[in-house]
Amino acid sequence: MSTLALRVGGMSWRVRPRALAVSLTGLVVLALLMALSMRLGELRMSLADVVAGTFDADSPAHFVIMELRLPRALTGALVGAALALSGAIIQSIARNPLASPEILGVTTGASVTVVAGVVASGSVYGGTSGLLATLGIPALALLGGLIGAAVVYGLAWRRGLDGYRLVLVGIGVAAVFTNIKFWLLTVGDVNDTGRAMVWISGSLNGRGWEHVTPTALALVVLVPLTLLGTRSLDALRFGDDTIAALGVRTNVARALMILAAVLLAAVATASAGPIAFVALSSPQIALRLTRSAQPPLLCSAVVGAVLTSAADLIARTAFSPLELPVGIVTAVLGAPYLIHLIWRSRK
Amino acid sequence: MRLKAAGVKLGYGERLVVDGLDLGIEAGTVTTIIGPNGCGKSTLLRALGRLLKPQGGEVLLDGKRIDRIPTREVAKILGVLPQAPTAPEGLTVADLVARGRHPHQTWYRHWSSDDEGAVASALDMTGLADLAERPLDELSGGQRQRAWISMALAQGTDLLLLDEPTTFLDLAHQVEVLELVRHLHRQAGRTVVMVLHDLNLAARYADRLVAMRAGKVIAAGTPHEVLTEELLREVFDLDAKVIEDPVAGTPLVVPIGPRSHSAAPPA
């Protein structure tokens, strides 16, 4: 039996033991990766150093752990989870394993506003320090992401929302945004565009608590809301008449879930830039690990956190002292996976 | 009168398919809608099941306007099986049938023992209990159709609207599905409205036939009243003999050919 029922009083839930096992395993792996990323880096530490650095404010390791490595690792895990959850929702709604927040215009929209902001303001926003840099870029990214999503949604809406139409419109809008972004990069100052490029690639460099807190708060609000919508999401994978017959208000359910996906992706992009492939591949990996018919939400989030943490660990340490943007590593890992997926679906 | 269409105008966008139609469905009957392709019978069924909003007129469920009843409440009274429904890839029969419990569930009640019981009995009734864990895509056409009907049954409604439940099935499977419908009707007193293409099976399994052409009801009544040689000419442009079905005693249509004056001249 692939499903167990958990019943307490008048309440009941379905539990898939396999999904539970995958999620728990993922959390263990995530914990190991976090511990590892506390130890590794330009300054290598023993586990004892890490523990001392975490709890003892006078320890020499304290600054490195609490101000550099821990917030960065947490941002990575949270952003990965948010992107993966967003991807799982969008893939379910579009009934398409190749759908991701990019097709909703979120990441491409955010790239346009951030690049525009960096180019227009010169070094004011682009620098790695200062209040404007830490608040300005996330705010611009959030704004751009929401505008991008609104454009795609507005164009895709025609007496209701059709998953296929959404994907096609999304690809078109993404192409337009991407070209505006490139145009801005060509007219901008070389130094500014260089900084913008790092952001566009998706980077966790220099992420601090000011990135952890908003992302964590957004997840605390959005994840439970998303999980409440799980049943609607399961239903939305059926034909529209079938689900309408079951008493689901299809357009309302779809709009709410898309809104959740947009917010998750926008918050993640605001913190770390458009990290490639996490939203696309995590739900598909979770789907295969759990052998379920649709991307499992919580499991996808765990996989996304693991994937992003692992990628950032590689990005940070593999070519030390040079640090790669994490998005480069996820793209290098994700692209072959995408090809594999397309190749498999052709068979 | 359980379900009633009063002066409904139905269509998609600008195009009206049905322009002012009245139809009443009596409790505890099996009503079958027949008519040529494109006559609006599926459109009418979708409107009766509140899947299509009328552009004029109204649909009444137990005397109340169906669009004023919360859709989830409607889903506890009335089940609809759309034409050629699609399910996500890899879904198992049990998962599909469980989906029928959706209107009875809430965020904190995902899987009550009522749900489990309803799904088990729906699977039993359609003879699919042994195939419950099989993916839907691995089933034969007849088994898959039975799985969809199971889903509608698990919904636990006493009104069922079935849009061409026998499409793509061979004759044996068509009879099997219709016997199931009859069983549901006789045993549990369910009210059923179906769209069917096969006139002889429609005559055999319906209490009441509704013949439509070009968005209008041409005739409604018992199969004997409706399935006449004149009506077949009028509704289907078909010259046919109607004899008595030697098995069921219902009218049996034996086609002769397209109505003579509208037939294309031989090349």
CA distance B218 to chain A (A): 27
Substitution target from B69, B109, B145 for chain A, most A beta carbons within 10 A: B109
Largest CA distance in chain A: 65
pLDDT score at A63: 80
Q: Determine the residue among B80, B99, B101 to mutate to test chain A binding: the one whose Cβ has the most chain A Cβ atoms within 10 Å.
A: B99
CATH number for the domain spanning A319: value is 1.10.3470.10
pLDDT at A132: 56
**Region A225-251: what's the mean pLDDT?**
84
Residue A133 has pLDDT above 90, yes or no: no
Residues (pLDDT < 50) of chain B are 263, 267
- Of B228 and A14, the structure prediction assigns the larger pLDDT to B228
Residues of A in contact with B87 (CB under 8 A): 237-238, 242
Query: pLDDT for A298-325, tens place per residue?
Result: 999 999 999 999 999 998 888 877 888 8
Q: B224 vs chain A: nearest CA distance in angstroms?
A: 33
Structural domains of chain B ordered from first start:
1-77+161-170+188-259 (3.40.50.300)
pLDDT at A346: 60
* Chains A & B: contacts with CB separation below 8 Å: 91
Give percent of chain B above pLDDT 70: 97
Task: Judge whether A98 lies within some domain.
Answer: yes
Which residues, at least 6 apart from B18, have a Cβ–Cβ distance to it below 8 Å?
B8, B9, B10, B11, B40, B43, B44, B47, B215, B216
Q: Would residue A10 count as lying in a domain?
A: no
* Across A230-247, average pLDDT: 83
* Helix (H) or strand (E) run with residue B199 in it: helix B199-205
Question: Alpha carbon of A158 to those of A154, A163, A236, B14, B45: distances in Å?
Answer: 9, 11, 17, 14, 23
The mean-pLDDT minimum among A1-5, A19-23, A125-129, A166-170 falls in A125-129
Residue A296 located in a structural domain: yes
Question: Largest Cα–Cα distance of chain B, in whole Å?
Answer: 68
**Residue A160: inside a domain:** yes
| Nearest C-alpha neighbor of A113 from the set A85, A141, A78, A147 | A141
Contact B88 A238 (CB under 8 A): yes
pLDDT tens-digit readout, B17-55: 998 999 999 999 999 999 999 899 999 999 999 999 999
Considering chain A, what percentage of its residues have pLDDT values greater than 70? 93
Nearest to B66 by CA among B82, B80, B83: B80
A242 in contact with B at a CB cutoff of 8 Å? yes
Whether A149 maps to a domain, the answer reads yes
Residue A53 has pLDDT above 80, yes or no: no
Q: Is residue A26 part of a domain?
A: no
Distance CA A295, CA A283 (A): 5
Residue carrying the six token digits 């692939």: A2
Domain that holds residue A196: 43-344
Identify the pLDDT of residue A1: 42
pLDDT at residue A126 greater than cutoff 50: no
Q: Do A293 and B73 touch (CB under 8 A)?
A: no
Is residue A154 in a domain? yes
CB contact at 8 A, A46 and A54:
no
**Does the model's ipTM exceed the 0.95 cut?**
no
Residues 72-111 (B) with a CB less than 8 A from some CB of A: 72-76, 79-82, 85-92, 95, 99-100, 102-103, 105, 107-111
Q: Which residues of A touch B85 (CB under 8 A)?
A: 238-239, 241-242
A231 has a pLDDT exceeding 50: yes
How much is the pLDDT for B26?
A: 92
- The answer to whether residues A251 and B51 touch, using CB atoms and an 8 Å cutoff, is no
What span, in angstroms and rounded, lies between the C-alpha atoms of A79 and A85?
A: 10
Label the pairing between strands B159-163 and B191-195: parallel
pLDDT above 90 (res A247): no
A17 within domain boundaries? no
Nearest to A231 among B89, B91, B110 (CB): B110
Instruction: Please indicate whether, in this complex, the C-beta atoms of A293 and B92 are within 8 angstroms of each other.
Output: yes
Which residues between 14 and 33 in chain A have a beta carbon less than 8 angstroms from any beta carbon of chain B?
A: 14
Is the pLDDT at A339 greater than 60? The verdict is yes
The number of folded domains in chain A is 1
State chain B's mean pLDDT as an integer.
Answer: 89
